[in-house]
Structure 1
């Protein structure tokens, strides 16, 4: 067992313990405090009906969604960075968040989304993210040539900027209620999710994460130069398209339920690579753990920093992510 493998097992154990502790702390946080003893009593079938309702239908579903959304966004960011060979790539940079946000804005602008089914916004957001990703890929691809990864990133930046400009034009025409609804979604919040959302998202995250883990060798090769990948027998364009669409589906599913949460897909792969190296067999599980812990911790902080009021999750993550991003840039410059 080499050094990186030992570090992987050590850090995996540490992050699993931290995640378990934070899960209990997150369950106990709210208007009515619950101690670890209260939580254990309720989980074992005790407690009043009000306590069981609070724990299972309000707090636990939110905790589970935070873990799944964090893990999904972090893993999608890792795949985007691998495909583009650009450590600044993320769902936000490649237009996934922008496409989903623009679709939600159109839904709210032209209809009464507040009275619609719980599934309408997630479905619309997923469609918007998918269309944005397909458009970026199509504009970056030239027949008979390998996909230009730098063009993929530039197209993502351009589309994101363009959609944000159109969003600003439409947002100023919204009513106060619709503006609040759109603003909450664009910043990011997991409040209001249901067990149905959690079950669907869990299936998506588990299936796609398993798919990427099984294909870890291909992902390791895609991180190398085009010439090396071709020499090792990897069909570059087809592989990049398949993995890109899988990462888009993963990110879109998370964004559809949690809103346009930024920085998770950018930061977590960076931290994972610094801890356990670049091989995807180690990096994928570590990225999942770090993403889950980051979003769960940030959602807990959002509930306690200005209690009894609550901050939006996206704001807390931005407050964490922006300084780290600047640190990475400063370190790279040095």
Structure 2
């Protein structure tokens, strides 16, 4: 009987030792990987919150430092013979991501603060690309990690599993992207009007109004179809307020400017009163336009609160 027990016990010890080694192997890779993921999420959040260049550069450097640390850790680890590509996927992803950050977030690029809606649209689309890369890397990492741990019957601690948290983070970000891009598409035509107005380009003013009206219709349809995020309608309300401002602008100042531009250089006597009334209306409209920044500042406060509530 003693020999029989020894026969059973030896394989059990070997399996337990192997299981311990896999746990250590997983932790040695997963912990620095999770740290890197956190630094990337912090950078993306700061980018979309409109952080100043110095802060963005600092957070970009933190990402690069974290990626370098991850690579150093990986260089000191001997890959397991059959880890389902866990090691190589982590190392390969780190190299791709490092190159992406170096090429797309230089000091010069981060120092160029977006000045127009189209610049902001590009910024958001850049952030989307970065998020997609991180999402792909996380999915690949998680898939291979789970296969490895499942083989040795090792349970993942969900609370410390970065994949689930990044998925939740990404869902909130995707919602924000949709709302923000919808709003910025309208703002782009407002920018066109302001440029044309400042340059006294009458045809471009008319064209900007036509484009703005069309985009407002599309944006309103989008807003009406979009549901609140986890019962949080703060972003929708804030964006609707800004879109309402643009609609008033389209029907007010822009309309008045077009009428004003229809007058000849020498205003007929019987049109002087009408002309003077339009002058006053345009001046009032310009004052109204100058309050736009206060609307955008209020909107940014709402966005920041949304991030604080829903980003993980």
TM-score, normalized by length of structure 2?
0.28
TM-score, normalized by length of structure 1?
0.27
Q: Which of the two has greater helix per residue?
A: 2
